[in-house]
Structure 1
Amino acid sequence: MSFDFSVVPSYSQILGTGLLWTVVITALAGTISILFGVGIAIISLYGSKIVSLPVRGVVFLFMGTPLLLQLYLLYYGLSQVGVMLPAFWTGVLGLGLHYAAYNADIFRTCLRGVDPGQTEAARSLGFGRGATLRHFIIPQALLTALPQVGNNSIILLKDTAVLSVLGITELVLNAQRAISETYRPFEFYFTAALLYYLVNLAMEGLLNVAARKAEAIR
């Protein structure tokens, strides 16, 4: 059987739309993963056991179960308790929470790694605990965590393909739509893989630039 990539340009618009939504989903879910990851790390380190232990339990749940299962639980489970979220936002939330669990471990390690002298110096200047965390500890921890969190964001980009099972428009689902019309799976899956690779290269380049700037600031 021969390959025929001449059919691909005719579907460039649908593939481009899928790629655009893949990038949008990555940005939204990545933001959620960072915000929740920082919050979970702070609660785990500085919160009371009554609060921190249940939070850690939820983190272990997200880290110890498959992403696809978590998406199914959110998509079908929330509707059973009266919470009706569109599939798109369910997918974004599911991806964000999944990677928030992994980012939380990174942030927790980086928070612990900040020189205790920074805290003592801030407190001696009259900053309270919250202000010390907000203005001194968290910014330094974020700079240290940037390379690892960036790597997680690249992995998150590739995991957006899982959202196709929920019918969410992204690159893999749109490639499948093109395949259903042309019966050319190799050509379109190969093109989708190439597009993922190019976006990965772009993200790695941006991450390297950001990491160098962060190192200069530190």
Structure 2
Amino acid sequence: MSTTHHPTVQGDAPEAEPPAGAVPAVDVAGAAPVRHPLRWLSVLVLAVLGAQLGHFLVTNPHFEWATVGSYLGAQVIGQGIATTVELTAIAMLIGIAGGVLVAVGRMSENRVLSSVCGAYVWFFRGVPVLVQLVFWYNLSALLPSISFGIPFGPEFISWHTNALITPLLAAILGLGLNEAAYMAEIVRGGLLGVDPGQTEAASALGMGRARLLRRVILPQAMRFIIPPTGSQVINMLKATSLVSVIALADLLYTVQSIYNRTFETIPLLIVACLWYLIMTSVLYVGQSFIERHYARGATRHAPQSFWSFALFRRAPAAEPDATVSKEETR
């Protein structure tokens, strides 16, 4: 008995079932784009507000843009800017150096040293920096003279406090000592972020504590310390405006002394704002370059550059891990 084989029609062939666990294909060609009406509405609202702001800046005669332009590059303003930059640099140097010492002291096994450093941080972070500036400026009311010598014995050298504590020195002490307390916590957080295994491995190689800190811990902690330190530098630049209360001729005090004579308050304040924006922008650019330098090879997320921040761009996406298989990345 013979069996007859009927030809199979190609159109009637059953479709092959996809393997178990496979992701079904999605037809993206016919997919409708996602609508974002709230985005367009927000853009429209911001455009209207921006147009109103531009119209206000251009048509309001009280801004006195001609006066702003005449004072923007004035020599007296430049002297105030130089004082601001000098004070920022000196105060940050004191703050960074003191912060490293206080942070190491807080992490010391010596409880007395750790307690003293902790009390330092507690006091200077708890008292407003403006109060500290006024206190240092009026130190002569508490100590008419400052001397050095044998404790409870003869004095070798002495100075009048008013002659020694000038407005510049009072500003340096107030800003620098206050900044050291904040930098101590930043440095301590960076040191704690280093893997303890690095310390154990270096100790096993016979490294001393000082060399271990200098050669192993601090270089790795820099990527945790640099970003907040850059923010502290920018904050310090703006905090120097507080020294105007002790008659130190920084940028703000110089501007105030001018508009107290000419009564051109708004134009001179605009000059100060523009210069502060210029200086902080320069610092932000420097901070972004330093962050990218110390972040090389340490993270897949590159730090956001200044232009990405200024142009509202998103940070670059993370690259897929090399250990992930191709099927997992599809």
* TM class, shorter-length: over 0.9
- 8 Å CA contact 2:222, 2:294 repeated in 1: no
Take 2:183 and 2:80, find their aligned partners in 1: how far apart are those partners? 26
Give CA deviations for 1:21-46 in whole Å, capped at 9, x if unaligned. 11111111111111111111000001
Match of 1:19 in 2: 81
Ranked by relative contact order (alpha carbons within 8 Å, sequence separation 6 or more), the top structure is: 1
Matched residue type, 1:5: W
CA distance in 2, matches of 1:48, 1:30: 27
Return the alpha-carbon distance in structure 2 between the equivalents of residues 145 and 182 of structure 1: 45
In structure 2, what is the Cα distance between the partners aligned to 1:93 and 1:127?
A: 36
Alpha-carbon distance in 2 for matches of 1:138, 1:152:
19
- Could you tell me which residue of structure 2 aligns to residue 33 of structure 1? 95
Hey, what's the Cα distance between the residues in 2 that align with 1:78 and 1:47? 38
Q: Deviations over 1:52-99 (max 9, x none)?
A: 212211211111111111112222226633243222022012111112
Matched, 1:102 2:182: yes
2:95 maps to a residue whose letter is: S
Aligned-residue offset at 1:147: 0.4
Aligned equivalent of 2:170, options 86, 90, 94 = 90
Aligned to 1:160: 240
**What TM-score comes out, normalization by structure 2 length?**
0.63
- Distance, in Å, in 1 between the alignment partners of 2:249 and 2:262 is 19
User: In the aligned structure 1, how far is the partner of 2:239 from the partner of 2:116?
Assistant: 27
Structure 1 counterpart of 2:62? 2
Count of residues in correspondence between the two structures? 218
Distance 1:89 1:27 in 2: 14
Q: Give the equivalent residue in structure 1 for 2:312.
A: none
Distance 1:119 1:3, change over 3 A: closer
Q: Cα offset for 1:159? A: 0.5
In the alignment, the residues of structure 1 paired with residue 283 and residue 267 of structure 2 have an alpha-carbon distance, to the nearest angstrom, of 25
1:70 matched residue in structure 2: 132
Indicate the residue corresponding to 2:112 in structure 1.
Answer: 50
Select the structure of larger CA radius of gyration: 2
Opposite residue 169 of structure 1, the aligned amino acid is A
Please, what TM-score do these two structures have when normalized by structure 1?
0.93
Please report how far the alpha carbon of residue 116 of structure 1 lies from its aligned counterpart in structure 2 after TM superposition.
1.3
Among 227, 232, 254, which residue is 1:174 paired with?
254
Aligned residue type for 1:152: Q
Taking the aligned partners of 1:153 and 1:64, their CA distance within structure 2 comes to 20
- Tell me the CA shift for residue 169 of structure 1: 1.5
Deviations 1:151-175 (A, max 9, x none): 0110111010000111112100100
Amino acid at match of 1:124: A
Unaligned runs of 5+ in 2: 1-60, 147-163, 299-330
Q: What is the distance in 2 between the residues matched to 1:68 and 1:49? A: 31
State whether residues 68 and 270 of structure 2, in contact with CA within 8 Å, keep that contact through their aligned partners in structure 1. no
Instruction: Compute the displacement of 1:9 (Å).
Output: 4.8
Opposite residue 170 of structure 2, the aligned amino acid is T
Residues 210, 6 of structure 1: alpha-carbon distance in 2 compared, 3 angstrom cutoff:
same
Partners of 2:186 and 2:121 in 1: how far apart?
A: 13
